[in-house]
C-alpha cells in the first residue's frame, strides 16, 4: 500500500477523532449545540465514513510529517545532549575503547586471540 493511501479504518478513526474533539470543546465551553454537532458527526462517521476521506488524508499526512520531523529532532537532541558529552568526558579521562593508541604505536594486532576449543555447549549459552 502506498504511503499516501488510507484505508477505511483510518477514515473511521478520523471521523471519531473529530467527534471527540467537538465533544471536548463542547465540554470545555459548555455549549450543548456542539454536542448535537458531535452526534451528527458520529452518525455520519458510522453510516458514511467516506465523507471523512479528504480529512483523513490531511490528518494522516500531517501526522506522518510531524512524526518524521520530531523523530529527527529527538535523535539529534539525544546525540548532542547525551552521546557527545559522554564521548568528551571519556576522551578527557583517557578512555580508549578501540585501543587506537596501542594500535598506532606498534605493528602488532590489537585483536585478542583465543586459543580455546569451542564445543556445542558454548554456543547454547554464549554469555
DSSP secondary structure letter of residue 52: G
Question: What pLDDT is recorded for position 1?
Answer: 45
Q: What is the DSSP letter of 81?
A: I
pLDDT at residue 71 greater than cutoff 90: yes
- Of the two residues 110 and 53, the one the predictor is more confident about is 53
For 111, phi and psi rounded to 5 degrees? -70, 140
Contact status, residue 15 vs residue 44, Cβ threshold 8 Å: yes
Average pLDDT on 94-101 reads 76
Residue 47 in grid coordinates: 453510516
pLDDT tens digits for range 2-28: 556 788 899 999 999 999 999 999 999
How many angstroms separate the CA atoms of 81 and 79, rounded? 6
Please, how many CA atoms are within 13 Å of residue 33, restricted to the half-sphere of its CB? 0
Amino acid at each position: 500500500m502506498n504511503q499516501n493511501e488510507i484505508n477505511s479504518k483510518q477514515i473511521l478513526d478520523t471521523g471519531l477523532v473529530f467527534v471527540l474533539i467537538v465533544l471536548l470543546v463542547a465540554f470545555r465551553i459548555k455549549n450543548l449545540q456542539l454536542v448535537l454537532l458531535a452526534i451528527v458527526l458520529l452518525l455520519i462517521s458510522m453510516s458514511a465514513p467516506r465523507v471523512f476521506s479528504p480529512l483523513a488524508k490531511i490528518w494522516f499526512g500531517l501526522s506522518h510529517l510531524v512524526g518524521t520531523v520530531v523523530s529527527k529532532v529527538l535523535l539529534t537532541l539525544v546525540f548532542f545532549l547525551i552521546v557527545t558529552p559522554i564521548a568528551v568526558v571519556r576522551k578527557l579521562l583517557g578512555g580508549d575503547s578501540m585501543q587506537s593508541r596501542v594500535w598506532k604505536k606498534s605493528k602488532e594486532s590489537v585483536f585478542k586471540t583465543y586459543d580455546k576449543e569451542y564445543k556445542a555447549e558454548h554456543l547454547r549459552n554464549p554469555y
